[in-house]
Amino acid sequence: MDPLAVRSYLAHLRAEGISKTSIGRHLSALRTFFAFLKREGRASSNPAKSVGSPRREKTLPRTLSVAEAGAVVEAKGREGALGARDRALLGPEQGRQEAERFAPAAAMILALPLLTCTWAPDRFPIKTAISPCSRPV
């Protein structure tokens, strides 16, 4: 058997409508089988070793419908800040409601004084072109 026979077999699988992932598994099995035969002295070479694997298909993930996304966000355990963030992402109406609910806390956070940090290269030996925290934020 030679690499051309292995490629012919893979082409036959593709013509039968087998997915690229499954063809890759077939090729992997052939490589392992021929490696075994070679180790046992029953084959002189591994013809599947030089055959390239098919590239895997790139698929996009399935997105949730509006109803499914709403069900996820409203699920039990989605209270608090994470739930508010998720509800705010769903749309302007829910986002506005969440913003009004958390407005007092946001105002308090924004009123806090801004802090600056001092860059100490001897304590943090990071090589960088821009010195972080070198001036007040």
Structure-model confidence comparison of residues 51 and 113, the more confident one? 51
> What residue segments make up the domains of the chain, in order of their start?
1-58, 60-137
Q: How far apart are CA 117 and CA 113, in angstroms?
A: 13
Q: Write down the pLDDT at residue 24.
A: 93
CA 44/CA 32 separation, integer angstroms: 14
Calpha distance 137→101 (Å, rounded): 28
Task: Tell me the whole-structure pTM to 2 decimals.
Answer: 0.45
CA distance 4 to 46: 12
90 pLDDT band, cuts 50/70/90, is low
